[in-house]
Chains A and B, each alone.
Chain A
Amino acid sequence: MKKLLGAAVLLNRHTGEIEPAQIFSGCDDVNRRHYEDLWKPELERRKADFTNWDESAAGNAQDSHWEWDEIMTSTLSYESFVIECGGVTQGLMNVNVATKFAKLPPHNGRELAYIDRIATAPWNRHKFTEAPKYKGVGRALFATSVSLSFDLEFRGRIGLHALEQSETWYQELGLTDCGFDEAEGMRYFEMTEEQAIEFLKGAEV
């Protein structure tokens, strides 16, 4: 069930104005339609510019094969979030809250919120389009995952495997690069409780 969680703001780079956005837990048919009708054609068009998945990182399109309708499940293991601005779905996130555990000390082996998928709309992406529209979608969704982690008593712990195009961004958010994970074929990043607190302090400024 889709439910309003709270408000956020995004910078419209085209106008220079700050615009109100809404963050929801869960998604509905409107979000699914936005993805199918607005996101997917753009992603597939961009994907066609590259011969393989590795190369598509250069166009910020390595997620073009994600099927959000299948990803957004209704089990207790996953929490899904959307962010809307201007009446359009600007970002999607799916978080595994059941079957992933921290690797970094001192709380290795403890529960964490694992960001299974996170994406901003194609028109907001650098390297995807010459004039990306909204700035702040990914950070707003990431902050939501940190809040979720505290809410579930996981103490802000976050884990994720990063697409190549996003590795630098996660380092900037304060996560620790735990190295290349052969099993997933991607680098694994993790945020500890201390890093989560620092991240939230920064978000208050």
Chain B
Amino acid sequence: MDRRQMTLILSDKEMEVLDELSQRRGMSKTALLRQALRLYQSVTERIERGEKVFVEHPTTKDKAELVVL
């Protein structure tokens, strides 16, 4: 894979979240950010196509629509 480098400036809080998520997901911070980009593109494209993206509660089955502005 071709790779390019960039400098990313995050707030303390954002960095804490990045640290925590990368530990919880078992991935490096770089891999986690790349994965987040894939997901964000996928969600954005689906919504732009008119599709709806939901999250569903595991027991009540209540659905909440995910809206990307």
Indicate whether A and B interact: yes
Q: Which residues of A contact B (CB under 8 A)?
A: 3, 25, 75-77, 97-99, 107, 110-111, 151-153, 155
5 contacts between A and B (CB under 8 A): A77-B41, A77-B42, A98-B35, A99-B42, A107-B26
Q: How many residues of B contact A (CB 8 A)?
A: 15
- Residues of A near B52 (CB, < 8 A) are none
Closest chain A CB from B66 CB (angstroms): 12
CA distance A46 to B13 in the complex (A): 59
Secondary structure dominating the interface of A: loop
B23 interface hit (Cβ, 8 Å): no
Is there contact, CB below 8 Å, between B25 and A111? yes
Closest chain A CB from B58 CB (angstroms): 11
CA distance A99 to B36 in the complex (A): 10
Picked from B1, B26, B45, the residue with its CB within 8 Å of the CB of A75 is: B45
Closest chain B CB from A116 CB (angstroms): 13
CA distance A75 to B39 in the complex (A): 10
Given A3-B2, A99-B42, A107-B26, 10 more pairs with CB closer than 8 A:
A75-B42, A77-B38, A98-B38, A98-B42, A99-B39, A110-B25, A111-B27, A153-B26, A153-B27, A153-B31
What residue in chain A is nearest B25 (Cβ atoms)? A110
CA distance A98 to B39 in the complex (A): 5
Is there contact, CB below 8 Å, between A97 and B27? no
